[in-house]
Amino acid sequence: MILIVDSGSTKSDWIAVDSNGNQLLEKIRTKGLNPAILPKKKLKKIIKSNSLLKEHKESVSHVFFYGAGCGTAKPSALLKQVLEKMFVNAHVEVNEDTMAAVYSTISHDKEAAVVCILGTGSNCSYYNGKELVQSVDSLGYSIMDDASGNYYGRQLIRDYYFNHMPEDIKIAISSKFNMESDYIKYNLYKQPNPSAYLASFAEFMFLNKESEYISNLIKKGIRLFAINMIMQYKEELKTAPVHFAGSIAYFSQDEIKAVAQEMGFTVGNFERRPIEGLVSFHTKNL
């Protein structure tokens, strides 16, 4: 049994297949497994709490994990250790989430492309057909992550409290979320995953896209992301398309295309959930 995992900070999607790509179990979803944020004990608890993973752990021969927070050596090694302890008979590989985005969006194996992730967090890399080229090291949600779910959550909360939000949107958001300051501060400063809490506001944003305020908010984030991340690859953009993965990107396609036209880059493919493309890639390359 081969386990392929696509994990953000909010959630992890697991799929179990055989060597021909046939699905063996129903799709599994757990909480996000970001080793840059969560301690070892919490990572273990999330994995062990799923009954299907626990039941089939000894049948797993390979684990291919792609996740937020896995782009640097120490967090990646920590998670690999946790997975090897759980799946004792498995070969385990842990890769940064950008590689999942690459394999699920490129049109063929050797295609060169700028590949962006817009989900709970955000990132952007250039794939030259063989390997990733990273121009900017991510410093996480508190400093970077423009146009991500946590970016938009932060902007919505700020605009609510600074009174930069139209009254109808203010009423709507306060009817859906607890906007009391003590509750917000508790989730931001006392809970273990504030980026996921901030990203929980993103659905509200997309349900209210007809608002000029929301539409402008989305475009503002994408412009920032394009200026700070995509335009790092000015030379590559002359010939390479820009692909996007993640739910924020998927639901912002119109706004992304509008910003791309403004800034002169070519939009390629969109993939909401990269995990399906990973199945084909790994069963061909076992």
Pairing verdict, β 242-245 and 113-118: parallel
pLDDT of residue 279: 85
Residue 5 pairs with which residues in a beta bridge? 14, 65
Confidence label for 108 from pLDDT (cuts 50, 70 and 90): confident
Q: Which residues of 118-134 are buried (b: 16+ CB within 10 A; e: fewer)?
A: bbbbbbbbbbeeeeeee
CA dihedral 118, 124, 130, 131 (to 10 degrees): -110
Over 26-43, what HEC string results?
CCEEEECCCCCCCCHHHH
Higher-pLDDT residue of 108, 75: 75
**Token pair of 157, please?**
């909360």
Confidence label for 98 from pLDDT (cuts 50, 70 and 90): confident
Task: Please state, in angstroms and rounded to a whole number, the distance separating the CA atoms of residues 102 and 114.
Answer: 9
Between CA 143 and CA 198, with CA 134 as vertex, the angle to 5 degrees is 30
Structural domain boundaries enclosing 63: 2-100+274-284
- What is the average pLDDT value for the chain, to the nearest integer? 93
Task: Please state, in angstroms and rounded to a whole number, the distance separating the CA atoms of residues 53 and 73.
Answer: 25
Contact call for residues 150 and 125 (beta carbons, < 8 A): no
- Segment holding 183, helix H or strand E: helix 181-189
Q: Has residue 86 been placed in a domain?
A: yes
DSSP at 95:
E
Q: Has residue 280 been placed in a domain?
A: yes
Helices and strands counted in the chain (H then E): 13, 10
Residue 245 pairs with which residues in a beta bridge? 117, 271
Q: How far apart are the first and last CA of the chain?
A: 12
pLDDT (tens digit, 9 = 90+) per residue, 11-48?
Answer: 899 999 998 889 999 989 999 999 999 999 999 999 99
Q: Has residue 22 been placed in a domain?
A: yes
Number of domains in the chain: 1
Q: Which residues of 186-214 are buried (b: 16+ CB within 10 A; e: fewer)?
A: ebeeeeebbbbbbbebbebbeebeebeeb
Above 90 in pLDDT, residue 110? no
Contact call for residues 264 and 114 (beta carbons, < 8 A): no
Q: Which residue, among 11, 60, 50, 48, has the nearest Cα to 31 in the 3D structure?
A: 11
Confidence label for 280 from pLDDT (cuts 50, 70 and 90): confident
Neighbours of 43 (CB within 10 A): 22
pLDDT (tens digit, 9 = 90+) per residue, 47-92?
Answer: 999 999 999 999 999 999 999 889 889 999 999 999 999 999 999 9
Contact call for residues 65 and 235 (beta carbons, < 8 A): no
Above 80 in pLDDT, residue 96? yes
pLDDT of residue 204: 96
Q: Has residue 220 been placed in a domain?
A: no
Task: Please state, in angstroms and rounded to a whole number, the distance separating the CA atoms of residues 284 and 286.
Answer: 6
Q: Has residue 34 been placed in a domain?
A: yes
Q: Has residue 95 been placed in a domain?
A: yes
Q: Has residue 43 been placed in a domain?
A: yes
Q: Has residue 236 been placed in a domain?
A: no
Above 90 in pLDDT, residue 277? no
pLDDT (tens digit, 9 = 90+) per residue, 194-210?
Answer: 998 999 999 999 999 99
What is the pLDDT averaged over residues 129-142?
87
Q: What is the pTM (predicted TM-score) of this model?
A: 0.79
**Token pair of 280, please?**
């084909």
- Segment holding 80, helix H or strand E: helix 73-86
What is the pLDDT averaged over residues 211-227?
97
Q: What is the CATH number of the domain that holds 47?
A: 3.30.420.40
